[in-house]
Structure 1
Amino acid sequence: MEQVAGPLVPKKIQSYYQTPRPHPWRPTMGYENIELNPLPSQPVTNALMEPCTSPKGMATDPIRFPNLVTGFERNPAHAARTALYTRYTPYEWAQSQISNFNEADTNRNYSENLRSDAIKLMRLTDETTSSGQRDSGRRLGERITDTTFWRNEVATEMEKLTQETNLLQEAKRRVDKAIQDCEAPLHIAQECLYHREHRQGIDLVHDQPEQYLLKEVENLKTCQSKLSKLRQSLMDQLRNNRAAQHELETDIKSKESAIGIDSVCHQMNNFSRGINYYGGIEKYDTTLSVPDTWSEHSNRITSKSQSERSNSAQLRTDADNMINACANEIWNSWNNTNSALARRSTETLEAKNKLQMHLHKIQQEIFDVEKSIELLRKAIMDKSNPLKVAHSRLEARSHRRDIELCKDTAQVRLVQEVNDIGDTIESLHRKLQEAESQHQQLLMTRSNLETDLNIKVNTLFIDREKCLSMRKSFPVTLMVKY
């Protein structure tokens, strides 16, 4: 605030005084209370009355008193001529003295009363001023107490909010870790599905492990989506906490500044250094609130901070519950998939063992059939000589002459022998064809069994070596909070 300064008597404009130095925060006013300082008293002497002894720089002529007797300028001749006509009577002289005495008594009594009233007024104003100053100091002390109380309340609330914000940041870090931890099981499940796509033939079946793997992938993606939404909620809550904390910090700084100013004002007295006049300061209203709105503001930001702390605590609880629920769900899906893969591997291993057993039997049967085929072929070859003998006998007997060409029992038996040998060879050929056909069927069956065995071996390698080997240990650690 600028101090009022300037000449003792401001410039007079028509019927009012102009403010000597206008303030930047108020318009120029046409009047102002001023303080007049009387000039120092100095006795009037003849030296002051002479023109030659007038003060230097005086704009007007010096005062010249007339003659006390004649009322005119000093002139001895004129005074002697008019002396008889200027005398007063004794009565007039006495009355003049009495009048002067009465006037002196009256003025003295009035002056005494005026001094008494002035003393009473000074005492009253001193008491009023002291009482007002004490009341202002008391109210300043009460204001300092109220401000300190709310400052402590706001500071306590800000400390609690800061702790809650730190806990919420830790919860957000756990949620981020949970989202990141979902990537490893998801990658393993997708890798298992990719490997199982390399199964061959009949083993490309939509079996239980594949169903559990698809369900596991779906659960992992669902958990990631839920955790991502929760992470966004945590970020929004952190933003709200920081906004509330900023309001609390601003209010604390304002209250500490106000406490410092009010403390200085409370300790200020009539003998303090730095006190000064600031003209018109009482008309400059800089207040923005009243006690009700002031306390309501602190109560409002404190209530807002408490509400944000409550929301933050609820979010932290929801985050812990969701992390535990997702972890349990992922763990259950992981175990179910592993159990399904283990059961499927056991079934595949049993099928492989049975295939190997049947393949061994088929191989033995093929060997036996091949031996039978060789025996049949040898049997057919062995029938060639007896057939040749029978044919040779019949051909030789056909050279008999005349009546000797008799269809005797020998002839009949030879013909029957040839027919029997032919039937035998024919039956052996049929059996050989059947054996060869069965041999081809056995070879085809062996090929099918070998192909199926290779498929089972490949499936078993995928399920047991590729999938289960990746799923021996759970890739997430310390995800569940107990």
Structure 2
Amino acid sequence: MKVHEAALNTGPDSSCGLATAGFRSARYLPEEWHQHNYARYHQAFADRDASERCRHESQGLAAHTAALAQRTQQDATATLGRRLQDIHFWKAELQRAVEELAAETDLLAAQKVRLERALDATEVPSAIATDNLQCRERRQPPDLVRDQVEVELLKVSGDGARLEAFPQLNRDHKQTCEMDWSDKVETYNIDDKCGRYNNQSTNIQFHPSSDFCTFPYSASTPETWAKFSHDNIYRAERERLASINLRSLIDNILHDTAEDLHLQCAAVDAAFAKRCEEMEDAKHKLEHHLKKVREIGDQENNIAALKQAIKDKEAPMKVAQTRLYDRSFRPNVDLCRDPAQFRLISEVEELTESIESLKQKLLEAEQSLRNLEDTRMSLEKEIAVKSNSIFIDRQKCMAHRTRYPVVLKLAGLNEMKLLF
């Protein structure tokens, strides 16, 4: 009791206060408190002022760099536009030279075919057949079969293999111009794509490599670049004029294989049409079966329901097990094997059995879902294979066969442009 009273006696006139006089306590003087607050005010003002100044400078710098970036981008876009005009001019000139060379080459080839009898006229059908065979090699199993179409195409390819080699004529110059034109087309597409880029484009990204900013030692200048195309066009024109003089010397014609080739062409076209019809029918049947594989969604819902059912059993299991656990603490004789105890035990067993049954059914449902997904994948793969085969036969081969020459061209009585 005396200790308690002494502890309560802590007023300004208490003996404890007198005993500690002259020592520094944890309390601060009012002047120190005000000084501390003023220091915080000043620090807050200085930090806020520096932040505002930094923010204004940042805004000015951001606006300046944004305007600079926009100007430089506009200048680069305009420069690309002017470059595109130059490329388009030479591309058009090269295309004209190629077309003129191609026309003259076809005329000269037609005349040459007339001298070599109509055998050379089978080169185009043979080339088309070879191209069709090569295209059809890209079919995927199980569509990679030796069908009637391939048998008919091999007949045409075999006829073409017996022909003599055609002279080069204007092909070297034509190929040079075509390569130059191809480069111009590729360059035009690249520069056109670059000119269409803007800040909102979705396919732009960082390319930090410095190799893009340097030029190889062999890089051309605008002058040598233009001179290269000019020289190619000049040589092509000179060769074309020489070809015109040569073509005036040729005048014989024969029609030996024209009718046979067209009969074979009709047979190949009929085989193509029949084969495409068969593949379309198979594809439609596969698609029909694929549409029926709708059980996947129902099975997924069933799996979700089973998982939820298993989860729903957790609370009852917790209740039953908690009851058993708590009842195990009944004292002495009250730890009785009463009906409630047996019912709780049976409840746990029933819940365990239910959960195991649900888990087993869940495994079965998941396996069924995997089987359905495998079936769907297999059907989709087969449909893709059929679509690929149909595309090759119809869009590639049959579209290419529209270039098949008519009888007069095979006989050498018309321009044989299709030979090249």
Q: Same fold (TM over 0.5)?
A: no
Indicate the structure with greater helix content: 2
Q: Given the two structures, how large is their TM-score scaled by the length of structure 1?
A: 0.40
Which protein has greater RCO, CA pairs closer than 8 Å, 6+ apart?
2
Larger Rg: 1
Q: Given the two structures, how large is their TM-score scaled by the length of structure 2?
A: 0.45
